[in-house]
Structure 1
């Protein structure tokens, strides 16, 4: 027997729930269902942000907000002018959830619990009579003249409009590709670098503000760099991995990373500073006097790498040692061999080709009444609440588009 709905949303995650709630609030007469392949809904929301749910980011200017998206920067400008971070805060306030801003701009519910967001969504869907159907894994989708037919592992559904919010699901991408959409092959984004190097071997936990570059490319980034037991992490590295997702994939994650531990100080400027120290602090031990705002353990490691002895004074440093130290400080070269996933977050670059989506409505350009929201599209962001903001914005725009069609 075929079950009929006005709208079916495939995917019981953040984008799916937000889209369903906004459609139902604007169109209470529509019969809506959320189909989820798993046993429970909103499972990624539960673990996001370390179980606190990083709802959005305190960047309120659309043209600034888009700069956090390696893929989707140009396309999201229009959507963010319709529904931005400030609108997200207001939406959750209206639904009984207050958010707070942390020092780095990330925003969380004041309860510090993702359960607050889950409860908000579940209560809203219950109030609005939205059906939540779990253990429904989509097997196929067919477009008839004026309706869609969706087959799952258990049932067959008919609907007028369908919204796909399945995130980075290869099986769904295959189905959409068979329909005729172009899928940009997914590759990992947001990862840390595996580096085995004597200069950082025993420095786990040391952090410095640094600029980093992938040798032989235009890929560069800056920000806090954290030394870990497997290599390097921190915002600067994660940003580089996001913008370089495809390039680094093509390199099979084997490349030279150039690190300027002094961030924006050049080799020439550093060398002049070191020469000045040789003159003004000639009686001081190099190991005891670090002229830069710099972790002491890292300074010791880089001076040793430059051939400088523990008890050597500034007066005794040779020209060769000075040049070597300036090079280590501003252009340290580290061999990267592989990557590691960042915490529990697994973000991919890839999905439905942006050219095939109408960003005024989030509707497919190939099939009327087929909509997309969230990471199913080739849009991804760095950490900080930006991927969720993309989901909220897409869901809101779809709800507007469906309201106008009705």
Structure 2
């Protein structure tokens, strides 16, 4: 059986739906189908942001927004001038989905439910008569004169224009590689660090704003650091994992993490502060209360790690103990052995080589009428709504170039 369409979109995720809807809204005459290999669509949207769907980020200047993309910073500048976060908010408002901004800039539907976004997309595909076909696993792609042939496990489809929005799908990357596209090998991009260390052993749930650095590299980041039962997580760690995706993969996730629990305070400055505290709080017990802006439990643990027992008073601290403590505070060395996936938000660095894509249209430079949107290409971002923004922007550009050409 052969089914003919004007446009076929392979991949029923955020980028696929957004592309399809924007195509048919611009040109209702076009016959469009979305092919999804799974039983359900929009699965990543469902689980994103803890089930709330972190739609985008309140960063409205393209040149600032690109800085959140370890891979794709240069290439996304032009696309973000065409469709940025402000356009995303407007698009969803126009389709009766209101978004709100949280304190950290992340944007969610006011309902706090990803179902709102899913319902919006499913409703629009029905209204616009876009066919959504599940259980369709693509087996082969063939490029003929002015047409594409897509063979799935069930049937053969043909179309004039083909859009690939399959995210991190190794099978599809392999098919594209067979068509001479270069695939940058995928490595995980958002992950937390596995650390077994007595200093953080019983501190699960404790959080501090810290500066983190991978020893012997230029990789560093600042942000809230969360201690978990398997090690360290939180925005600072995730930022480091995204920017260091390739380097940390090469290290097989075995490295030393340097933590400055005082963020931007240097060892010398910490030493000065501790000497002042020794004078001011002479009769008080050192371990009892944190003199810095982080939790008492963490302070007590670092005090013990500095060879200061729980009953020692400030006045009795030796120069060696002060030095140890300043070191623990500003340059704690933690051995990382492995990584864990950050919740279900699995993002990979890797995909179609960016040099093989025309970013004005998101069309392949090697094959006419083949387009890409979303994470299938070698673009990824840190956590905070940026990966979805890439899906909306690239989907919009594909739709725009298809309907205006």
TM over 0.5: yes
Q: Is the 8 A contact 2:140 2:150 kept in 1?
A: yes
Moved more, 362-371 or 45-54: 45-54
* CA distance, structure 2, for counterparts of residue 115 and residue 83 of structure 1: 24
> For 1:260-310, what per-residue CA distance to the aligned partner results, in whole angstroms no more than 9, with x for missing partners?
000000001111111222223222221234321121111111111111122
Q: Counterpart in 2 of 1:4? A: 4
Q: Secondary structure of 1:199's match? A: helix
* CA distance, structure 2, for counterparts of residue 222 and residue 309 of structure 1: 30
Moved more, 211-220 or 48-57: 48-57
Moved over 3 A (4+): none
1:238 is aligned to 2:248: no
What pairs up with 1:28-47 in 2 under 5 angstroms?
A: 28-47=28-47
* CA distance, structure 1, for counterparts of residue 404 and residue 391 of structure 2: 20
What pairs up with 1:240-319 in 2 under 5 angstroms?
A: 240-319=240-319
> For 1:239-266, what per-residue CA distance to the aligned partner results, in whole angstroms no more than 9, with x for missing partners?
0001001100000100000000000000
Distance apart, 1:47 and its partner CA = 1.6
Q: Counterpart in 1 of 2:172? A: 172
Distance apart, 1:221 and its partner CA = 0.5
The TM-score with structure 1 as length reference comes to 0.98
> For 1:29-82, what per-residue CA distance to the aligned partner results, in whole angstroms no more than 9, with x for missing partners?
111111111112112211211111111111111111111111111111110111
* CA distance, structure 2, for counterparts of residue 145 and residue 54 of structure 1: 41
Runs of 5+ consecutive residues of structure 1 not aligned to the other structure: none
Q: Secondary structure of 2:3's match? A: strand
Q: Is the 8 A contact 2:168 2:375 kept in 1?
A: yes
What pairs up with 1:185-200 in 2 under 5 angstroms?
A: 185-200=185-200
Q: Is the 8 A contact 2:289 2:299 kept in 1?
A: no
Runs of 5+ consecutive residues of structure 2 not aligned to the other structure: none
Q: Counterpart in 2 of 1:336? A: 336
* CA distance, structure 2, for counterparts of residue 44 and residue 294 of structure 1: 35
* CA distance, structure 2, for counterparts of residue 316 and residue 389 of structure 1: 56
Moved more, 288-297 or 385-394: 288-297
* CA distance, structure 1, for counterparts of residue 43 and residue 303 of structure 2: 48
Q: Is the 8 A contact 2:289 2:296 kept in 1?
A: no
Q: Secondary structure of 1:248's match? A: helix
Q: Counterpart in 1 of 2:376? A: 376
1:20 is aligned to 2:20: yes
* CA distance, structure 1, for counterparts of residue 23 and residue 275 of structure 2: 67
Give the aligned length: 405
* CA distance, structure 2, for counterparts of residue 375 and residue 286 of structure 1: 50
Q: Counterpart in 2 of 1:127? A: 127
Distance apart, 1:363 and its partner CA = 0.4
* CA distance, structure 2, for counterparts of residue 197 and residue 134 of structure 1: 47
The TM-score with structure 2 as length reference comes to 0.98
1:160 is aligned to 2:160: yes
